[in-house]
Amino acid sequence: EDQVTQSPEALRLQEGESSSLNCSYTVSGLRGLFWYRQDPGKGPEFLFTLYSAGEEKEKERLKATLTKKESFLHITAPKPEDSATYLCAVQAGGNYQLIWGAGTKLIIKP
Amino acid sequence: GAGVSQSPSNKVTEKGKDVELRCDPISGHTALYWYRQSLGQGLEFLIYFQGNSAPDKSGLPSDRFSAERTGGSVSTLTIQRTQQEDSAVYLCASSAGQGMVSYNSPLHFGNGTRLTVT
């Protein structure tokens, strides 16, 4: 069964303290892995798409990487405004549907 | 430009009542998706529209749930005889892609309707 698991469920960091969020997946024929950011009371906002192992994407303090089993979202020197829930989703095979992880709630304390 | 708009933003209803949730996608987006988000769980796929047709209704939890899309634009999700387990945030998303989500046609989400069934 296709599955996406995110860890940790929650992560509390001090401002400036770098860390990584994990998204592990077991799917048949990965088509793409997507990272979204969700603020409270808002819908998810698209961040990155990764297609193949070894691929990396960057945006401001965020960098997403992909292996054959998992993806990491690295956050460098985070600021309080980076606090949000980060969602990972996978598209597998010829299916248009996305399989979503439960998310990691990131809290950055000033 | 305008993003995906959902209404109402909040809805409290009594068990057994019917509710209608509305989604206005981004103009020109042919693909439209409904998801349900419950606390601590991943987004649950409900239904997908390409234009006015719904090639995949497999995610609808029961026959109390239905959805339609008219004019290739606005979509309505209807829940009949609501139950407490229907309480969740219902999210709508649209995409310019022809079904396959990709980097150049990612999903654009509305802010959702928070449904509470008492």
Torsion angles phi and psi, residue A89, rounded to 5: -140, 150
Minimal CA–CA distance to A87: which of A52, A54, A39, A51? Answer: A39
Q: What is the mean pLDDT of residues A10-37?
A: 94
Range of the structural domain that residue A63 is part of:
3-95+103-109
Instruction: Convert the pLDDT of each residue in B22-33 to its tens digit.
Output: 999 999 898 899
Chain B partners within 8 Å of A4 (Cβ): 42
For chain B, domains (ranges, CATH) are 21-98 (2.60.40.10)
Q: What is the mean pLDDT of residues B89-110?
A: 82
Q: What angle do CA B58, B62, B68 make, to 5 degrees?
A: 65
**pLDDT of amino acid B104:** 60
Nearest CA in chain B to A94: B100
**pLDDT of amino acid A35:** 97
**Distance (Å, whole) CA A3 – CA A26:** 5
CB contact (8 A) between residue A32 and residue B102: yes
pLDDT at B100 over 70: no
**Distance (Å, whole) CA B57 – CA B44:** 12
Chain B partners within 8 Å of A58 (Cβ): none
> How many structural domains is chain A composed of?
1
**pLDDT of amino acid A93:** 72
The CATH number of whichever domain residue A71 belongs to comes to 2.60.40.10
Contact A104/A7 with Cβ under 8 angstroms? yes
pLDDT at B47 over 70: yes
Instruction: Convert the pLDDT of each residue in A35-89 to its tens digit.
Output: 999 999 999 999 999 999 999 999 999 999 999 999 999 999 999 999 999 999 9
Read off the DSSP letter of residue B84. Answer: G
pLDDT at B1 over 60: no
CB contact (8 A) between residue A99 and residue B42: yes
Contacts of B86 (CB under 8 A, 6+ apart): B79, B115, B117
Identity of the amino acid at B3: G
